[in-house]
Chains A and B, each alone.
Chain A
Amino acid sequence: MRVLTYAQAIREGFAQLLASDSRVFVIGQGVWSPWYAGTSLRDLEKEFGRERIIDSPVSENATTGAAIGAALAGMRPIVFHPRMDFMLLAVDPIVNQAANWSYIFAGQVKVPVVVRATINRGGEQGAQHSQALQAMFAHVPGLKVVMPATASDAKGLLITAVNDGNPVMYIDDRWLYEEHGAVPEQIYEVPIGTAAVRREGTDVSILAISYMASQAIQAAEILEKRGIDAEVIDLRSLKPWDQECVLNSVRKTGCLVVADAAWNTCGMAAEVAATVAGQGFEFLRAPIIRICLPDSPAPTSAPLEKAYFIGADNIVSGVERVLMHKEESWRTKSRSSIRRRITAD
């Protein structure tokens, strides 16, 4: 199959939606600019006109509110926030309005709006050019939240989000823009609420979100060399999320590491851990470990930044900690297959 980058796949999703559905339009800051959107929106305004591809004034609140109003009036807007940090100026329209209206009006109106928020961090950008705030939005009833980690999902989830008929937060990550992957040429959907098992394994489950899903694959390769067979699940959709897929994996492996490059406290990893502890208690042979960012704003200085952000190495050490517990649990139960394999390493 044809290979595209993550950013190209997003761009193709936009183009196919715009070409096939006259209700779709785009509004937000920087949509005409590769500086803000990378190649993910390149030249859309040339193809579809500046009336439908609206590079807006610096008004996060009003543009998001306007997208919601247009959605209520039957359009399918995609509002673009090139930095999630700046989107906080639009929290009232997203949380109080888009998320509420279907419920408070008993389904008589609906808000088919997609809010695309980009996580853009690293490079010494610091606290207000770095935040990954998915948990805040996943907390709110009435919002769906998706975070594609592959090129194919970047396109498919965008299309599903627009077709869903509800407010969907589509959160992409600039660190993934150059990742390559096979992407079907036609218009297609990836169902919201389904996770993807990226690598099957039997020793430990690694559930990862967005950028951390690609890091988890690398972690699994490192672990394989040490004789540890990790299962990697890419969550893809944070709300609703695929509890069945995760529980099935934990049933098999008996332990779980959750990796989310966002803050630890009250984060999505905590939500997953609580659910698995509650519903999969009898499967667990070890405590669930979260691999998240420290509870601090992002620094700028390079050594501090390196210490702050997380990747495959952090996942590997998380897995090692979990497996030590698991081995202990096995020993007390006189079941030693895992122990033997770890000892042999």
Chain B
Amino acid sequence: MKLAENATPPTGASVDKGILHSLYQTMLRIRVAEESIAELLERNEIRCPTHLYTGQEAIAAGVCAALTKEDYIFGGHRSHGHYLAKGGDLRALMAELYGKATGCARGRGGSMHLVAPEVGLLGTVPLVAATIPIAVGAALASKLRGERRVSVSFFGDGATEEGHFHESLNLAAVYQLPVIFVCENNLYSSHMHISERRAQDNIYKSGEAHGIPGIRLDGNDVIAVYTAASEAVDRARKGLGPTLLECRTYRWRGHVGPALDMDVGVKRKDEMKDWLPKDPLARSKSRWAEMGMQLSDLDQMEERVHKEVEEAILFARESPYPEKSELVDHVFASSKGA
């Protein structure tokens, strides 16, 4: 399979200073959190299976900036970025990775099961593609209630090989539901390159047969992502139905764990050198400078974010573990035990 040329951002993509500032801040928080977690994984201080988002920050940041707190999002196994971008509490994320009672899932979820209903993140789970139909259902709820709320499903390129994905596209199209399918195509499903899993490099066309507009875009260009997501959200709110965004990107670290450029013991192709210069944060920083703004503003932000992440780690370390007596709580809602 021949890989498609680099996707180009939608024409005329530009943003105002405030939005770029906020997008950069979101990406930076994700980057610093993820790279700190990588160190903690290397030291075996965090032990749950952890799939890091480094390199893909522009997608979570760009999409979530186009949403309101009331909109729903759903994610998968690699969802720290989605959680933070939607406004999930950083300390509760760290505590969850440590298995602490103060974690966002009270120590029942770890890295792969995150939740922040107070900001519209109803859940992330690692069963590949599982939350795609669930996001469609949340959108169906919006439609039945006559709300303007939209739902977003974040998933990887591997998820597009599951039947769930194709059933969900049809369901969303036939009922014209306010859902946005965000495929983060980082070229790898675990250790398998996309060329070994697909005959055609055309995920964005998956909705074509159902009349769902599909857009392939540079997922490392946060402005491109934000612009495309804003248009998709606008369509959804107007009742014009679903959109599929294929965001091209690359994860810097392995499928799971902290290893750089190495997947589950398998060395990837020699692509990292091409992707490092496309670092979404570095590109936003250049954009910031091009717009005539002071880079020193961003340095101050960096200092603040590092401090915030350090504090969150400290909070997690010092938090208590859940009590053993809670073991079977919440098997059913509003009841104790099974």
The residues of A with any CB-CB pair to B shorter than 8 Å are 25, 51-52, 54, 56-57, 59, 61-75, 77, 92-93, 96-97, 100-112, 141-142, 144, 165-166, 240
- Asked if A107 and B174 make an inter-chain contact with CB atoms under 8 angstroms apart, the answer reads no
Residues of B within 8 A of A54 (CB): 175
B331 contacts which chain A residues (CB < 8 A)?
102-103, 141-142
8 A-B pairs with least C-beta separation = A69-B137, A65-B133, A66-B137, A62-B167, A106-B106, A73-B141, A69-B134, A110-B333
Given contacts A52-B144, A110-B334, 8 further A-B contacts (CB under 8 A): A25-B144, A61-B164, A69-B139, A72-B123, A73-B141, A104-B123, A105-B123, A142-B331
Beta-carbon contact of B108 and A59 below 8 Å: no
Please give me the residue from chain B that is nearest to A77 by CB atom: B137
Which listed segment binds A: B52-60, B124-132, B290-298? B124-132
Please give the distance in Å from A57's CB to the nearest CB on chain B: 6
A75 to B136, CA, bound (A): 13
- 16 residue pairs A–B, Cβ–Cβ below 8 Å: A65-B136, A66-B171, A68-B133, A69-B136, A73-B122, A73-B137, A75-B140, A104-B108, A105-B109, A106-B330, A107-B329, A107-B330, A108-B115, A109-B123, A141-B331, A142-B331
Q: Which of A52, A72, A93, A142 interacts with B138 by CB under 8 Å?
A: A72
A73 to B178, CA, bound (A): 14
Q: Is B64 an interface residue (CB 8 A)?
A: no
B179 nearest in chain A by CB position: A69
* Contact between A61 and B133, CB atoms less than 8 A apart: yes
- Chain B interface residue bracket vs A: 35 or more
Q: Which residues of B contact A92 (CB under 8 A)?
A: 127, 130, 164
The answer for the CA separation of A65 and B137 in the assembled complex, in Å, is: 7
Q: How far is the CA of A64 from the CA of B331 in the complex (A)?
A: 20
Does B316 make an interface contact (CB < 8 A)?
A: no
B125's partner among A71, A97, A166 (CB-CB below 8 A) is: A97
B12: Cβ under 8 A from any A Cβ: no
A70 and B333 form a contact (CB under 8 A): no
Chain A residues near B141 (CB, 8 Å)? 69-70, 73-75
Query: Taking the nearest CB of chain B, how far is it from the CB of A149, in angstroms?
Result: 24
The reply to whether A107 and B137 form a contact with Cβ atoms under 8 Å apart is: no
Is the beta-carbon distance between A66 and B163 smaller than 8 angstroms? no
> Chain B residues with Cβ under 8 A from A106's Cβ?
105-108, 329-330
Given A61-B167, A62-B136, are A109 and B330 neighbors across the interface (CB < 8 Å)? no
Nearest Cβ on chain B to A315's Cβ, whole angstroms: 30
Q: Does B83 contact A (CB under 8 A)?
A: no
Within 8 Å CB of B123, what residues of A? Answer: 72, 101, 104-105, 109
- Which residue on chain B has the smallest CB distance to residue A104? B113
Are the CB atoms of A65 and B164 closer together than 8 Å? yes
Q: How many angstroms from the CA of A73 to the CA of B120 in the assembled complex?
A: 10
Complex: chain B residue closest to A66, CB-CB? B137
The verdict on A105 contacting B170 (CB below 8 Å), with A70-B144, A141-B338, A166-B332 known, is: no
